Amino acid sequence: MSRIAGAAGLVAGVSAAVVFPAGSAVAQASIPHTPAYTRTFVVTSLNDLGPGSLRAAIDSANATSAGDSTLISFGVNGTITLASPLPAIARKVAIDATSAPTHVSGGPPVVALDFNGHPGLLFAVGSGGSQLLGVAVDDASGNGVTLDAGSVTLNDNYIGLNLAGAAAGNGCSSQRQ
Residue 20 domain flag: no
Average pLDDT on 51-72 reads: 93
Residue 22 domain flag: no
Quick: pLDDT tens for 19-51. 444 433 333 344 455 567 889 999 999 999 999
**pLDDT bracket for residue 168 (50, 70, 90):** confident
Checking if the pLDDT of 83 tops 50, the result is yes
Checking if the pLDDT of 125 tops 80, the result is yes
Residue 49 domain flag: yes
The DSSP line for 62-77 is HTSPTT-EEEEEES--
The DSSP line for 107-152 is S--SEEEE-TTS--EEE-TT-TT-EEESEEEE--SS-SEEE-SSSE
pLDDT at position 171 is: 80
- Phi and psi dihedrals of 78, rounded to 5? 135, -160
Q: How far is CA 54 from CA 33, 46, 50, 150, 151, in A?
A: 23, 8, 9, 23, 22
Which residues are CB-contacts of 91 (< 8 A; sequence separation ≥ 6)? 61, 62, 64, 66, 68, 69, 70, 126, 127
Checking if the pLDDT of 103 tops 80, the result is yes
pLDDT at position 152 is: 95
Average pLDDT on 1-6 reads: 42
Residue 91 domain flag: yes
Checking if the pLDDT of 124 tops 60, the result is yes
pLDDT at position 35 is: 61
**pLDDT bracket for residue 139 (50, 70, 90):** very high
pLDDT at position 21 is: 43
Residue 57 domain flag: yes
Residue 9 domain flag: no
How many domains would you assign to the chain? 1
Checking if the pLDDT of 67 tops 90, the result is no
Residue 77 domain flag: yes
Average pLDDT on 147-167 reads: 93
Query: What mean pLDDT value characterizes the chain?
Result: 82
- Domain holding 121, by residue range, is 38-159
